[in-house]
Structure 1
Amino acid sequence: MSRFVLYRLAACVIPLVMLGCAQQPEAPKPSADPFRISYTVGPCYGTCPVYQVAVQADGYTYFNGERHTQVEGPRQRKNQTGAFQAVEARLAEWQPAMGVTQSTQDCEPRATDLPQYAVIWTNQAGEKAVLEHDTGCHSDNARELTAALKSLDGLLGVDAWVREAP
């Protein structure tokens, strides 16, 4: 091979090698904002409904009735636009930071035979924030949280799956 051919070959190969070593842009990081909010309800010392509900940012709601529900087993429905954001806004005041599990604070006076809620916010990276709430807690803040949690079934359209309509 002549020198001329070697120089031309080097002139073509060196820029390609340098491009391969160039720093690649970082892949976008997953959002810290939740894309799924789920909650479980129950049990209690009686016939309280036991079920799970999950709502996703894409508008789908998933329900699974376990015991004492009108509908047992899994169901899903497509909600109107904004259902996820409405749930997120309704619970924003009580959402712990990602990676934190928090239980109801200020739980006096307390009734011991009422259902428990566990609310889980999950982001795209798989990080979770967990709120555990005892609906037997009767402090002012706990009653507000209980009311907000109980309103979610109607907001997401799963209330008829939980209980018979009056």
Structure 2
Amino acid sequence: MNYATVQDMIDRYGEPEMIQLTDPVIVAVQAPTAQRALEDAQAFADSFVGRVYRLPLAGCAKPAPVPGDLGAVQLVAPPQLTRVVCDVARYYLYSDLAPEHEVYLRYKAAERELMQIAEGKSVLSCPWGGVPGALVAGDAPGDAEVFHSFSPRRITDETLRGFA
């Protein structure tokens, strides 16, 4: 599942900016350039999200009624991941930014948000209900595999000799 599309970036940042970032001769949005940045941004997001959720994410079940089936749904990325991946991809498309530039600040905010998810301080959510994917550690007691190791010791008078 792709978290964001080139069209998502055009919708968020406008076609003029996307043309400027992807086409050196300023003619049209070059989808392959933008798509490469989106793929890199998704891999970046997965490096954080994958600490908590099993990858690939199943996706959120968004209602997508079709004639004859009003209960139809489509699986989509959680909206916050779409936003974060777009912000990171946009940052990747720029070649030189000052630390106070809006694009850089949005990238850093996206990085912090992903870190919050990775540390379990924030969660991915589906505004239409449900969950975006299975948790790595399991989402119910007993789902996670817990490994422990210890050496069996026997406590005897002999092993306790010398302790007061």
TM-score range, shorter chain: under 0.3
Going by fraction, where is strand more abundant, 1 or 2? Answer: 1
Structure number with greater Rg is 1
What TM-score, normalized to structure 1?
A: 0.27
Greater per-residue helix proportion: 2
Q: State the TM-score, normalized to the length of structure 2.
A: 0.27
